[in-house]
Amino acid sequence: MSELKILHNPRCSKSRQTLQLLQDKGYTPEVIEYLKTPIDKMQIANIIELLGFSSARQLMRKGEDAYKEQDLAKEENEAALIQAMVNTPKLIERPIVLANSKAAIGRPPESVLDIL
């Protein structure tokens, strides 16, 4: 099996459920607590591509206060949206599982099983 990673926030119930699901299925993913170990622009751009998203906005948590405070709803520049996620990692949707040169968001947690 290829490398298996989860971008994880232990305070998020969906993230915890997704990690537990992977472990219950016998997987031992590399856990990346992206709020403690932020990911860079290239990694975010790669995840957007692997998810098949047409815009960085699709990877963003639009309900976060930081999204509103930074007035990101009006931002049209993709590089600026990615930079906002670098600067404020809690804007990144979670959890994200990376495996087999694919990515999936664990909402619901079972959706990540398709890429394993």
Q: Which positions are catalytic? A: 12
Give the whole-angstrom CA distance, residue 78 versus residue 55: 7
Among candidate residues 49, 33, 37, the one with its CA nearest the CA of residue 82: 49
Element containing residue 105 per DSSP (H, E): strand 102-105
Residue 37's CB is within 10 A of a number of other CB atoms, namely 10
Place of tokens 């490398």: 3
Q: Decide: 30 and 3 in contact? Cβ < 8 Å.
A: yes
Amino acid at site 54:
S
